[in-house]
Structures are given as C-alpha cells and as structure tokens.
Chain A
Amino acid sequence: MTPEIERLKQQFGKSVYGERAETGRLTSVSVAPEVLPAAAEFMARVLEMRFLFLAGFDERKSGGGFRLRYAFAHPREDRFLALAVQAGETEASFPSVVSLYPQANWQEREIQDLFGLKPSGHPDPRRLVLHEDWPAGQYPLRKDFPNGVKVPRRQGDYPFERVEGAGVFEIPVGPVHAGVIEPGHFRFSSAGESILKLEIRLFYTHKGIEKLGEGKSPREILCLAERVSGDNSVSHAAACAQALEALSGTTVPERALRLRVILLELERLYNHVADISGVVLDVAFSFGAAQLAAVKERLLRLNERLTGQRLLRSMIVPGGVHKDFAAGALDHLLRETEAIKKDFEQIVHIIWNSSSFLDRVEETGIIRREIAEALGGTGPAARASGVDRDLRRDHPYGVYSQLFFMVPVFAEGDVESRLKVRIQEIYESFKLIHEVAAGLAPGPCLAVPRPLAPMAHALGGVESPRGECFHWLSTDREGKISRWKIQSPSFANWPLIEYAVLENIVPDFPVINKSLNLSYSGNDR
C-alpha cells in the first residue's frame, strides 16, 4: 500500500477501498462517489498529487457498471495513482470536479457525450465531442454501441456564449479554413480589433480511434496510435507501446530503448523547427520561415534515410523497435545533425536580430502561469509560462533516467517564450541524440512478444513535442484490449488558447495559435 492510499484511508475511512497494484508504476484504489470531490481535493491540496486526466469505462459486462478513473501523478516520485469511482447505472451520473480542477471541464464533457454519464454540478454541460447533429441516447463508447454503424443525424443548434454591448460584434472563423489545415470553428467577440472573448468549437473530425482499438491486437493498436496525430506518431506509438509492454510484462532490450529515444528526439526536432518556422511565416518574415522550412525538410530526409519513413512511422513495435538502423546510418545521423544544428543556429541568430520580428512576438498571447496550471496546460506552452514540468525528467521512460539534459522554463508566457522554449529544446535534443548514439551498444532490439495480462490496466506516458501524451490500456478476461484512453497534449492545451488571445487584437490570433501549434486530429481522436 502506497503512503498516499494510507493517508486517503485515514482521511476517508471505509469510503476508500480495494487498492490494487496495477502494472508498472500505476496503483489504483476505489473511492465511493459521494466522497470523490473531497478525496480529489485532498489529493490536490494535501498530498500534492497532480491530476492528469479522467477516463470512463463501461464494465457492465463484468458486473462493474460504469466506472471512472482519475489518474494522478506523484509530485516528486515516479509513481501514478488512479482513483476509481463507480458511476451510478440507473441515474448514470458522477460528481463533477470541475470547480476543483478546471482542466476536468472537457474531460467530463467528453465522458458525458461518449458514455452518457452526467457530470452532476458541471458548470457548462453543453455537448463537446458529439455535436448537436448526433441523436440523443447514442453513446459510442458504451459496449452495446456497435462499431461501424452509420448513425442518422438530426437538426440541432449549438448555443455560443454571447458578449453584448455597443460596438461588439462576432467574427465566425471556420470550421473550414483557407490553409490546408484541419477543421475547427473559432468564434470571436470583439470590439474593433480587440478580442473580448474567443470560443472554440472543435471535434469536427472525431474518428473514434479509442473505440476502434477495442479488441485489436497490440500491433494493430500501435498502427492506430501512430495515426492519432500525424506529426506526433512516434510519441503516441511510444506511449502506447509502454502501456502494452507493461500489460504483457515485456522487458524491452536496452538498444531498443535507446533507439526509441533517438526517434523521439528526432520527432521533437522536426516538430519544433516546423513550429518556429510557422510562427515566423505568420508574421510575414518569409526569409526566416523559408530557411527554417529548409531545415525541417533536411530533418525529414534524415528521418527517411534512417527509417525509410519521413514521419518515423512503423518503427516502434511492442517489445522494441521494428528494425535496427542500417550500417553507417548512425554516422550519417551524427554528421547530419551536426550540420543541421549549425544551420539552425545561424538562422535563429538572424531572426532574433530582427527587431520587427521581435516586436510581433514579445508580449503577444500571454498565458499566465495560474491559467496554464489550472487548465492542465502541458508541453512547451506550459514551460513558457513558468510551469516546470517534463515527463522525460519527472517520470522518465526509456533511457531518459540515464541521460543528462536541461528542461528550459521561461516565465513570460508570451509567443516569444514559447519559441525560446522550443529553441532550447532543439539544442537539448541534438545533445541527447549524440549522447544516446554514443552509448549505443550492439544487441537485440526486439523482445519476444508475450500475451497481455487479463483484467489489467496500464499507463504509458511520453513527453511528445506538444507535451504530455498518455495512453491508458485495459484488458478484459481474455487479455484483449477492452478500453483505450488517449490523453493527447492537444486535448489538454486547446482550452488555453481562449485565454491566450484575451487583450490581444484579431490579426494577432494566427500567430498566437501557431505558437501553441495544437493538433486538431490529436484532440478529436
């Protein structure tokens, strides 16, 4: 029994029961629904546990009814704790914790849409994932909802929050945009050019990946995981593989772990370079943007040379890495990254000497630290606002615990800080790649796959380029995947943008949006 559970039991007595050591670093304990808000508050205020995400489970078949699991991370130690709560099947509701954890807002509404469980006391129970055209009474993540059926659509209107006053008007943007990007609707209420309120409406491309994964084999799940968010393929695959390996009790060979770190850092490199390039382009500094785009292309070609795939897909498999790097590939990697780093340094130098560029990014789109923390912001966006958090350091996976690297944190929370975090992380990634490649000993890179343990839960977490990315996998009696919850960093970070744009002007929205560079696909799943 972990000390946290002991403290919980002391505090709440018989309302806390049934603790279970799940796989890996995860422990779970059941809590009675009526003490959930108090227990959650106790976890946050007294135990200083950090709330990560909330997942719903339909365990009616095994007689468990609907269950919710609240994942928490230990602040100092490398442990995770899940609070399991039974949701009433008859009234189908659960107590809302939004007033305590604002970041649970979307999480609870997602469960409301997909499981049909009402978060009682939720301040904003509008629909989120399934829009108004989805008929009532159809809940896709319930086990009795057959996958692959076409649901007839109906008429419905979404009530936007209105701002009223003299000279206030609304600017509806999207869901289809002029650029080749995914759909999302942005509703600005503005007076002149100043933004008074922004309301975002996403989930136009909900793909039902979590449902699709149920009953699939580990290889198939990983294939799906790589497609959750195209440019974060490696991160999602690595997080999902961690959960799968925890479920099957597989020990991944050292070489495979090291190769995974190289892949993860290569992914971070091309993502961060592309993000910086995007911001520079959005303020119309086309020279810098074009040079950075060239660097990104060079990184993608390096990826292709190493793995045969520009986005590094199909490399991570359960138990290790699909194939080892070809002979000479490592030397090429070291030479090429060295050259790319020099190029990148020069370009950054030019860009940061342009006062017109700096004027655009300084003090634009400020996210205050309290906002970032309350809404569960993650990744570079949170680190730019002074939230010192990085899964690679705080809950190390792979071989990160053996590596030395810095986690850049800035306090201002503006577009410039978000760029600076990425620039520093790029340098750290170059360093990490060199360190890992230097310590790479020959050996196997794939363990023999083992069957998944039945009736078990596992949590995998990776610090993706956008932030913390968690995959929760549960198995049924036969050891098949019965539930797959994906907590993508974009799902955590999208709500931040509504705050980042306040006190800014409409034409600065694109650059603020770009500086957060959130994935629609990773969010919608």
Chain B
Amino acid sequence: MYNFALLDENSKREIRRSVLKAIAIPGFQVPFASRELPIFYGWGTGGLQITLSLIGKDEILKVFDQGDDDSVNAVNLKRLIQLTTGVEVTSDTQSATLLQTRHRIPEQTLTSDQVLVLQVPMPEPLRKVESRETETARMHAEKDYGKMFVKLYEDVLHHGEITLSSDYPVLVFDRHLMATTPIPRWDVPKLDQAENLFLFGAGREKKIYAVPPYTDVEPLSLEDYAFRVEDFSNKQCVFCKSTESYLNEIPSPEGAGQIYACSDTDFCQKNRNQ
C-alpha cells in the first residue's frame, strides 16, 4: 500500500542530499522541497521527513515530545513510522539508534552511533530582530550578527538579564548563528562537542540544518552577562528524587503550591527502577 517509510525513494534521496549538505556546513539552513504528509505542518513534519528518509529496517526508533514518550504527538508519529516501516520502537534512550524529539534533548548523554532529529517550528534565529528574508540571508552570508547582540543588550538594559528562555541562539563552528528550536536553555550546552549527530528539520519553513559530532556550539552572551541554564536548586523530582534533571513545574494536587517532576520520562523511570 505504501512505499517503505511512506515517502517515495526520490524524495527520500533529495532529503538525504540536503542533510549531507547541512552536515558539511554546520548551522547553515539548507532549503529542501518539503513534502506533503498525512499530518499538518507544525506537528513535526520537518523532523518526520528526516526520520523517514534516514530510517532503515534495522533501526531502533524512539520518538518523544517535551521529554515524554507517551504524549499524543509522539505516539502518533511513532505509530505512523512503525506502520510504514515495521521497525522496532522503544522508549529506552540508550538502546535507540534513531531518536526524534520535540523541545528536549534526553538527559542521558547520547553516543556516536545515535542520531537525534529535532522538530523545528522556526529555523531562522534572526527573525526575532529582522523580518526580511533577503536581509537575514545577507546577515548570515556576511556573519553580521550585531543586531542579535543589540537584542541581548536591550534585555539587560530593561530587565537586568538576558530574557531569552527557549530557542536560545547559538553560534555554531564560530560561523553560523543557529536557532536551537524551543529546547530549554538547560539543553543548549549538550549541543557543544557532542558525540552524536543532531539534525534539525523545519517542514513548514522548508529548511534542514545540522550540528555534526564534536562541533563547537557557543550560546550568545555578553562578557559581563554570561549564558546560564535554568535554576532548579533546592528542587527535586517528586517521583525519582533526582536533582540533576530538567524539571516540569506542576500545580500541587493538594491545592496550594507546586510540585516538580522530571521532564524526561525515560530518565525518571530508570531512576525509579534503580
């Protein structure tokens, strides 16, 4: 009924070619011919197309959304990929070879034989400060990123600190400014000198970009206002008692106050099993 992995072979080849180009120029947004899919733009079509064009029969797949393997978006994407490929699906970060994610990088450090595919809503980091596509293209070509630093300056001026929370801009390989997708700041340092390959796919915006293994990824900052991650000091996960993971804030079931729980469900489960 379907071709293996839904897309036709020529489409998959075109996407793989764009992926190769993206790996060759770290952080550069490579245009590609985003295909029609049986899901809407904005639901992970960019990541899905990369996954579908890379996947082989021996792959072990993990799809998760905000760190959660059982959220609606993740489950539906997982079902679609499994239905059209028959590959093995897992929630175990360690044993997966191909991982697709929305808004998180797993707590567990990935290895050189794993590929993490990120779903990207807005691939252009300069869109916050410049609305014209012709102008952002020129700024990337000339490495003219002064305007982004003006944004940081204005943040410090009005709020006393850099207010960018998710989708923090990073400089990749000391050359291209890159949007990190809405991953929290917590996950940004994991991109730097990582063992694994990161691939970023934006279906609606028709762009693919990549961070190859062992690449310098530096979050933008001012000399006297350094980049910092979210502060979870004095907080721990209510389930696994971890103090070293990114925590979700949840209204307390007892009424007043908040409780905190690991965002990465696989990490949390493993902690509890130990």
Whether chain B is bound by chain A comes out as: no
